Structures are given as C-alpha cells and as structure tokens.
Amino acid sequence: MVIVISGVYFSWVSFYNQRKILFTQIEKQLFLAVDFLEHDIHSFFGNLENSVRTLTANKHVQEWAYENDTDDCDTSTCPLNNLYQIHKNEVDAILLMNKSGNILERFPKYEGNNLNKSSCCQNKCVLYDKNDTIYSKVPEISNIFINKQGHKCISVSCNVFYKSVYYGTVRWIVKISTFSKLLFEPVEIGERGDLFILDSSNIILFHSDKKWNNIKLDSLNDTLDNNVRSNILELLNKIKTGEKGHFSLIDFSTNQASEFFYKKIYVGAQPWIIVLRVPEEEMTSPIKMNTLTILFHAFLLILFILLLGFKLYTSQKKKIKLEYEKNYLMQVADTSKQIQIERDKRLGAIMEGQEKERHRISKEIHDGLGQLVLATKLKIDAYSKSIESEQKILMESISKEMENIIDEIHVISHDLVPSMLYDIGLEPSLRNLIKGISQHTIININFTSYKYNEELSIDEKLSVYRIVQEALNNIVNHSVAHEANIQILKNPDFVTLIIQDDGIGFDVENKNKIGKGLSNIYERATALHANIEIKSQTGKGTTITMKIPI
C-alpha cells in the first residue's frame, strides 16, 4: 500500500513540475515569436526609411522637385522607378510630390497617366521636425489612412531639398493588406492558434481568421452574442494594462478557452498591439501526453517494485529452502559417507578374509596334498626299479601323471596366493599370470607397462592382480576373442589399468548380463577408491578402464 501511495505521489509531483516547466517553455517561445514579429516590422519600415532617405539625396530627384516638372521621365533611367522595381513586392507605390502636395511622378503609373493628387491620397506630405518647424529632413511613418479606393494604407515619407531649400517629398505607399500578406500571413501559431494586430483605435489590422479583419472591436454592433462582446471588452481591458503580458480568456473568435500573449509596439508614432492566441487545449495536450507518460512510467515503477519485492520474497524463501536442503543433504552425505566407510571396512574385511583363506588353502594344498602326492610319486619311482619291464613302463607312466598333478598343484597354489607379487612386484606377477594363461588358450594376450615403478601398496597390487586375473578368466571363458591387451600406465596422479578384448562383447545396460566376475571387479575397484569404466557393445568387444589414485 505504501508503495502504491508513493507511486501516486511521485506521479502527481512529476505532473505538477512538468506542467510548470512546459508552460514556462511555451510562454518563452511565444514571447520570442512576438519579439521576432516586432523585429520584422521594424526591419521592414527601417528598410523603406533608408531607401527613401537615399532617394531624396539623389541629385536628379532634387532638381526634378526644384523644377516642379510634371513631364513623364524615362522609366529606364528614372531613380524612382529603379527603386520601385527593387521594392515592388513590398510596397504599392512610390510618389514624388511638390511642396504643394501635387504629384510630379508616380510608380506604378495609373492608366492614362492621370497623376492628379486625388487619385493617390488625401493628405499632404509636408513633414515637420520635432519643434514643428517645417521641412524636416528625417523620414517619417504616417498614421493609417484610407485611399480613394478604400484601402487602408500607411506611408513612409522624406522631404526633398535643393540647395537646402524644401521643394517636395518622396513617399512610399504601402497597403495594410500588402504589408500583412508579406509579414503576418506566413506566421503559424501552433495548429489552431491565431495572430492578430490591433491599432491604437482597437481596429483589427490583421487576423489569422480574415473575417475579423478591419473590425473595430470596441464598437461592434448588437448582432454579436453577449458573451462574445463581453470577451472582447475583457480582452481590450487586459491588453491596456501594460506593454507586454499574458492572460487566460475565452477567445471572441472561436469561443475557446485560450492563452493570450501580447506586446505593444510603435510603428512611427502610432501604437500597435501584437496578440498571439493559443487554445488552452493545445497548450495542455503535451502536458496531458506527458502526464500519461509519467503515469505509465509510475505504473511501471510500481510494478517493478512489486515484482522486485516478490522476487526478494521468493528469493529469500528459496534461500531458506536451499539452506534446509543443504543441511539435509549434508546430513545425508555424512550418513552416506559413514555407510560408505562401513561398507569399505566390511568389504576390506571380506577381501582380507578371502586372502587369508586363500593363504590357508594354498598352504594346505602345497604342504599337505602336494607333499602327499610327491611322496606317492617317489614310492612309485622306487617300486618301478624293482619290477619287470612291462610293469615298469606302467609305473613310469603313472609317475609322469603324478608329476603333472604336482605341477597343477603348484599352479593352483600360486593362483590362490601369488607369492611372486610379494617377492618381485606387480609387473612380473602379471607377466607370469598372462604367460600361464596363454599356455591354455589360443587367445593372443599382450601386456604393456609404461612408467610404472611399483608405486602401489601390497594390498593395492593384490587387488589389481585379482582384477586382471578375473578379467582374463572372463575373456578366456566368455568373450570368444582372438586378442586381448593389458596395459598399466602411470601419470602424476593415477595408475591407469586398461584391459581390452575384441570378443563378442555384451550389453552393459543389461544388469542381468553382469555376472559374479564383473561384480568382483567392481567391488575391488571400490575398495581401491578407483574410478572404473566398462565400455562394451555386442559384437565390438569390451574395454575396462580403471584409474587408481596414488
């Protein structure tokens, strides 16, 4: 619950801060746009002032005004026409007037070259300086006037002097519509915003919605809705409060809640007001979008915190479970280790008992049965010397058989207890074992030793000997092999025993195929703590690999 409340609080604080930042940014951008418009207006009229000042300094224009010449000039060389051609996209006309206010020359020309004064404007163009002294030499921007064609115009004029005597005036004529088309119509205020310009008489000189052009806001007729009139009056009251500002109001032209940004500028001596209007919805839409983004991120944050909490909970729970399982497995391992130790002890005791029993049986056979058979052989030999030849041959045959029995007793006694293992080591004992078995089988048995130097203890040697003995017995009796290889190899950590044959093999996975011989091999390997691996496939022979740690 605390997490959710924190997320909501974070979202609200972020929304408030973002709203404040965005409003500040938009306000700066719109006031910057107002400043650019002001700069463009002043630049426009400044260029016209500079050009008309330059023209009045032209010697030909000065003489023209002095001579009060109304004859048409050559348009190709006329400085008025040349200047007009440069500015014809910005102005509507350029005039040269004498000191009585009559037109001496005009571009563009009227049809029929009718250049009388009334065809252009109503007011004379005599300019005064700041002390109301006639004949000012500074260019001047006039107030708005209406020409004979009913167009609102503004003029930029400068007096012409010849030898420091005033003789006339050069005057630019600019229609408000031309001026607006050039500077105001290209301006876009957002997607649904407006730009409008008010003069000092509260007349709309330009509005993005052209139906409001040339309307005097404070003298609207009664056909307008009361709310619209009320909004207009409130607008006029607010823009009179300062030179520059911002306020919220219902727009009179769209009846929408809007934000207004205004600035008072001066064109000549006449104050104008630049007003930018932006619908409140358009200003707040980025904020709303940003709010949705913030809420979405807050939701993701809350979800992440919940998931993190759940992850921590499950991780802790899993850790406790793993700790419990670890303790349980340690107990099981300790128990298994104890069982393995006990098993190894029992297995060692069993094998030790087996070896003792082998020693006893070997001794009994060698010392008992062997001596008895030997004594019997000696008696037969002695007896054979005292009898006739036919009986003698029989006795010698019996004596020969008795020798074979004695040799077999020696073999059995040696197999039970390989005394050579104790006397000269494992490698010679294995070679002797292989030699004895080879005498009774057609299988070719090879033996290889590499770097082995009797590193094993006597008990380990005995276990290795018994494993090889058991494996060779299986090969001879069951494998139907043609060749077998015995290898004993030494490296720094292990003594490796490898026993291979090319016999019929068997299915290692089939536990029923593992007989007593393989079981004995596994048991002895376990007692040695050796790693044993038996690989075999039917028809592909068998390989036993055992690594005995040193």
Alpha carbon distance 264, 311 (integer Å): 63
Q: Name residue, tokens 């330009």.
A: 206
Q: What burial letters (b/e) apply to 299-333, b meaning 16+ CB within 10 Å?
A: eebbeeeeeeeeeeeeeeeeeeeeeeeeeeeeeee
Are 240 and 217 in contact by the 8 Å Cβ rule? The answer is no
Q: Which amino acid is present at 420?
A: M
Q: Name the more confident of 496 and 69.
A: 496
Mention every residue, 6+ apart, whose C-beta is less than 8 A from residue 10.
Answer: 298, 301
- Domains of the chain, by residue range, sit at 47-176, 437-549
pLDDT tens digits, 404-444: 776 666 666 656 656 677 778 888 888 988 988 888 889 99
User: Residues 398-407: what's their mean pLDDT?
Assistant: 72
Q: State residue 123's pLDDT score.
A: 41
Helix, strand, coil share (%) of the chain residues, nearest 5: 55, 20, 25
Radius of gyration of the chain (CA): 62
Q: What are the φ/ψ torsions at residue 351 (nearest 5 degrees)?
A: -65, -35
pLDDT tens digits, 444-459: 999 998 888 777 888 8
Show the CA angle centred on residue 190, arms to residues 295 and 280, nearest 5°: 55
Are 529 and 474 in contact by the 8 Å Cβ rule? The answer is no
3-state secondary structure of 88: coil
- What's CA 148's distance to the chain center, in Å? 71
User: Residues 90-106: what's their mean pLDDT?
Assistant: 90
- 110: pLDDT strictly greater than 80: no
Q: Name the more confident of 393 and 91.
A: 91
pLDDT tens digits, 482-511: 999 999 998 888 899 999 999 998 888 877
Mention every residue, 6+ apart, whose C-beta is less than 8 A from residue 351.
Answer: 463, 523, 524, 527
Q: At what angle do helices 176-183 and 2-56 cross, to 10 degrees?
A: 130
Q: What are the φ/ψ torsions at residue 185 (nearest 5 degrees)?
A: -60, -35
Alpha carbon distance 143, 145 (integer Å): 6
Q: Averaging pLDDT over each range in 38-47, 188-197, 409-418, which range is the top one?
A: 38-47
CATH architecture of 47-176: 2-Layer Sandwich (3.30)
Per CATH, 47-176 and 437-549 having the same topology is answered no
Question: Residue 286 — pLDDT band, cuts 50, 70, 90?
Answer: low
Helix (H), strand (E) at residue 202? none
Q: Name the more confident of 472 and 240.
A: 472
pLDDT tens digits, 348-385: 666 666 666 666 665 556 555 656 666 676 667 666 66
CATH of 437-549, one of 3.40.190.10, 2.70.98.50, 3.40.640.10, 3.30.565.10: 3.30.565.10
Three-state SS string across 452-490, please? CCCCCCHHHHHHHHHHHHHHHHHHHHHHCCCEEEEEEEE
Q: Averaging pLDDT over each range in 154-168, 248-262, 334-348, which range is the top one?
A: 154-168
Are 154 and 179 in contact by the 8 Å Cβ rule? The answer is yes
pLDDT tens digits, 231-267: 888 888 888 878 888 888 888 888 888 889 999 999 9
Q: State residue 353's pLDDT score.
A: 65
Q: Name residue, tokens 């700069």.
A: 39
3-state secondary structure of 335: helix
Whether residue 428 has a cis bond before it, omega within 30° of 0: no
Are 443 and 483 in contact by the 8 Å Cβ rule? The answer is yes
Mention every residue, 6+ apart, whose C-beta is less than 8 A from residue 421.
Answer: 429, 458, 461, 462, 465
- What's CA 532's distance to the chain center, in Å? 50
Q: State residue 126's pLDDT score.
A: 44
Burial tier of 277 (Cβ tally within 10 Å: 0-12, 13-18, 19+): buried
- 68: pLDDT strictly greater than 80: yes
Alpha carbon distance 34, 105 (integer Å): 38
User: Residues 512-540: what's their mean pLDDT?
Assistant: 84
Are 504 and 479 in contact by the 8 Å Cβ rule? The answer is yes
Alpha carbon distance 341, 199 (integer Å): 110
- 277: pLDDT strictly greater than 50: yes
Give the count of alpha carbons within 13 A of 399, CB side only: 16
Q: Name residue, tokens 């019996």.
A: 398
Alpha carbon distance 426, 478 (integer Å): 26
Q: State residue 515's pLDDT score.
A: 75
Are 263 and 273 in contact by the 8 Å Cβ rule? The answer is yes
Q: What burial letters (b/e) apply to 185-202, b meaning 16+ CB within 10 Å?
A: eebebbeebbbbbbbeeb
Q: State residue 196's pLDDT score.
A: 92
